[in-house]
Structure 1
C-alpha cells in the first residue's frame, strides 16, 4: 500500500471518528456553558487549565517518543512499549498527586480547588492515553483511538444529560468528566492488551534511550507551557472567573481544531522517522510532502471558516450568553495556521532527531510571551491573552521552520498549497455572501464549495480519490 494510501486510510478513519467525537464534544460544551453559565464555566476552565499545566509539564513528548522508538526498531517493540508505559505511569502519578497541594496557593474558590483534586484522576488517564496513542500510530490503527474517543464522548454527553436533568452541583459535573476519561482509556487498554503483553518493566538501557530522546522535548514542553496555558492561568489570576469562562469557551473550540493537526502528524511521525533511519531519501521526501499537503488542505479552510463565522459559531456552540466569545475566537483563529505549520516542522525535527536544535526557540518564545502576558493581560484582559497567543504560535512556526530547513535539505513543492489557498478564498467569498443564513447551512454549503474547488483546481483528482478510498494494496 502506498504511503499516501496508508496515511489517507488511517487519517480517514480518524477524521470520521473526529467528526463524530467533535459533534459530541461540542454538544458537551454546549450543555456545560448553558447549564453552568459564564462564572461556573470559568471554574471548569480554570480547573482544566491548572491541571493542563502539570499535564503538559509531565508530557515529556511521550506520544512522539513512543511512535519514534517503535518505528526505529532498535529494541523489541513489546519491551519498548512496556518500559515507556511504566515510565509514563510512575511519573504522571507522582506529579499529578502534587496538583491539589499546589492549588491551595492560588486565589481560587474552594470548589475549584476540590475540583482540581478530583480531576487529577482524569489527567492520569489522559497521560496513559499518550503512550497508547503512540502505539496505535506506529501500528497505523488509529481507528481504535477514534472509537475510544467516541465512546468516551458518548459517556460524557449521556452523563451530562443525566446530571443536568437532576440539577446536579458543579462537582458532579466534574465526576462525569472523570468517568468519560476513564472509559476512553479503558477502551484503548482493552484493545492494546490483545496486541501485546502489558506489564510494568524497567530496563536501564531502554530507560536511558527514553530519557535521551525525551529530555530535549521535555525542556521544550516546560517552556511551551508558558505560552500554551499561561494565558488562561494569568487571566484567572488578574481577571474574574466570568472573563475566564468567556475566553475559555473560545479556546475550547480552537483546541478541538488543533487536535486535527496533531492527529495527522502523529500518523506521519513514525513513517518519517523510519525513512530517515533507513536513509531512504526519496521515501522521506515523499512522506514529508504528503504530511505538508495533508495539513494545509485542512488548515487553510478551517482558518477561513472560523475567522468569518466566529460569532455565529460561538452562539451555536455556547449560546447567546457567549456571543462575546466570538471576539476571542476570531483573534485566536489567526493562530491556527501557525499551529498547523509548526506541527509539520516541529514533528519533522523530532523525526530526524533535531530536538536539541530547536530548544532555543521554545525558551525564547516562553520568555517573550510571558513578558507579553504580564504586560497585556492586566490591561486588556482576554484580548491581550488572545493576541499574545497568536504571536507565540507564529513565532514558533517561523523559527522551527528555519531550523528544519537548515538541516533538512528536501524542499517542499508549494503548487498544491496555492490551489488550496485559491479554493479557500472562493469558499470565504461564498461565506460572506451567505452570512444571513443559519450557520449550519453556511458550513454545509462552504464545505461543498471547497470540495468542488479542490477538484476544479486539480488539487485533488478523481483517480487520487479512487486510490485513497480503495482498500486494496
Structure 2
C-alpha cells in the first residue's frame, strides 16, 4: 500500500514538473515572439517616424487608432471567454471555436461596409484613404480565432512562427519603402499586409496538422458566447476608448503634427506591454486549474504574479523617466523633442497596466464580466473628461496626465468600489507597497 502511495506521489510530481516545463516553454516562445516583434517594430517605427515627420506620422497614428478601436468592437470580447470555456468544456471546443469564428466574420464584414458608407459619400482625402486601407485588415481578424486553438494547448510556437514571419517580411518592406521614399499610401498598404501574412501562415500551419477542429457552428453556442461576452465587448470598447481617444482628441483640439509627437512617445511607453501580456497569456490556463485545486493556491499565484508585475513596471518606469530626453533625441531627433515630457509622464501608467493584465484575467475566471465593464467604463469616463479639460490647457502633456489617471482609476481604484472586488484592490495595494519584501525583511530580523 505504501509503495502504491509513493508511486502515485511520484506520478503526481512528474505531471506537475511536466506542466511547469510546458508553461516555461510556452512563455519562452511568447517572449521570443514579442521580443522579435517589438524589436523590429520599434526599429522600423523609429525610421518611419524620422522619415515621415510629425505631420504625416500623425496621420498614420490617427488611422491606426481608428483601426484599433474598430478591432476591439469586432473581437466581440470573445477571446478570453472562448479560452475559459475550452479549458472548462474541452469536449465542446469544436462548436465553441467555430461559432466564435462565424460571429466575428459577420461583424467584421458589416463594420467595414458601414465604415465605407460613412466615409465615401463625403470624399476621400489622405487621412480617410489611409484609414480605409488600415481598416481593411478587419476582414482578416476572424482567422485569428485559431490563436485560441493553439493557446489552449500551450502550443505558442505556432503562433510565434506565424507572427514572426509576418513581422520580418513587413519590416523589411518598410525599410524598402523608406529607402525608395515611398508615399504614405504605400506604407499603409505594407501595414495592411502584415495581418494577411500572419493569419495566412497560421492558417497553413493549422490545416497541415492532423488534429484539426471539426467546424460545427451552433446557434446555441453563439447565443451563449454572445450572452457571456457582451459585457466584455463593452469593457474592451471602453479600454480601447481610453487608450486611443487621446489621439482623436489631440487631432480635434490641436493638429496631426501634435498627434505624431504624442504617438512617438506613447510607442516607447507602451512598447513594454508585451512582457505582462506574454506572461499572463501563458499562465492563464494554469491559474484556472489552480482555482479548482485550492483557493489558497489560486490567490497565492495571483499575488505573486502581481508582485512581479509591480517590480518589472517600476524598474522600467524609473529607467525611462530618468533617460527620457536622451531616448527621444537619440531615436527620433530634434523635431520630436517635445515628446520627452509626454514620455516621462505616460511611462508611469505602465505600473497600473501591468497589474491590470492580471486582474483582468481574474475577472474572466470569476465570471465577473459586469465588473470588468464597470472598471473600464470608469477609466474611459475619467480619460474623456480629463482630456477635455487638460488638452486645451496643457496640450499633449495634458493627454498623458489624463491617461495616467484613467489607468489609476480603472486598473486600481475601481476595484475598491465594489465589495466583491475589494480584496483584489487590497492585493494590488500589497504589491504596490512591497508587502512581501517588508515581510521577508521583518522575518529576517
Within a 5 Å distance, the mapping from 1:34-433 to structure 2 comes to: 34-73=50-89, 75-103=91-119, 110-126=125-141, 128-129=143-144, 131-193=145-207, 194=209, 196-197=211-212, 201-276=216-291, 278=292, 280-402=294-416, 403=418, 405-406=421-422, 418=434
Greater CA drift, 327-336 or 290-299: 290-299
Shift of 1:252: 1.7
Cα distance change of structure 1 residues 420 and 324 upon mapping to structure 2, 3 Å threshold: farther
Contact 2:77 2:232 in 1 (8 A): yes
Cα distance change of structure 1 residues 406 and 125 upon mapping to structure 2, 3 Å threshold: same
Q: Distance in 2 between matches of 1:78 and 1:95?
A: 26
Contact 2:430 2:436 in 1 (8 A): no
Q: Distance in 2 between matches of 1:4 and 1:97?
A: 46
Matching of residue 15 in structure 1 with residue 31 in structure 2: yes
Contact 1:100 1:113 in 2 (8 A): no
Shift of 1:118: 1.4
Higher helix share: 2
Cα distance change of structure 1 residues 236 and 102 upon mapping to structure 2, 3 Å threshold: farther
Matching of residue 24 in structure 1 with residue 60 in structure 2: no
Gaps of 5+ in 2: 1-15
**CA deviation vs aligned residue, 1:208-252 (integer Å, no higher than 9, x gap):** 221122012112223223312110011111211110000011112
**CA deviation vs aligned residue, 1:305-352 (integer Å, no higher than 9, x gap):** 222222222234333322221211111101000101122112111111
Cα distance change of structure 1 residues 79 and 224 upon mapping to structure 2, 3 Å threshold: same
Contact 2:328 2:337 in 1 (8 A): yes
Shift of 1:88: 1.7
Shift of 1:26: 0.7
Cα distance change of structure 1 residues 407 and 337 upon mapping to structure 2, 3 Å threshold: closer
Shift of 1:358: 3.7
Q: Distance in 2 between matches of 1:12 and 1:417?
A: 29
Report the TM-score when normalising by structure 1.
0.80
- Larger Rg over CA atoms: 2
**CA deviation vs aligned residue, 1:374-412 (integer Å, no higher than 9, x gap):** 122233221111100000011112235435644779968
Contact 1:57 1:225 in 2 (8 A): no
The number of residues matched between the two structures is 420
Shift of 1:176: 1.0
Gaps of 5+ in 1: 423-456, 458-473
Contact 2:94 2:216 in 1 (8 A): no
Cα distance change of structure 1 residues 413 and 341 upon mapping to structure 2, 3 Å threshold: closer
Contact 2:69 2:240 in 1 (8 A): yes
Cα distance change of structure 1 residues 317 and 66 upon mapping to structure 2, 3 Å threshold: farther
**CA deviation vs aligned residue, 1:27-71 (integer Å, no higher than 9, x gap):** 110121121111111110011011222122333223212211111
Report the TM-score when normalising by structure 2.
0.85
Q: Tell me how large the CA RMSD over aligned residues is.
A: 3.0
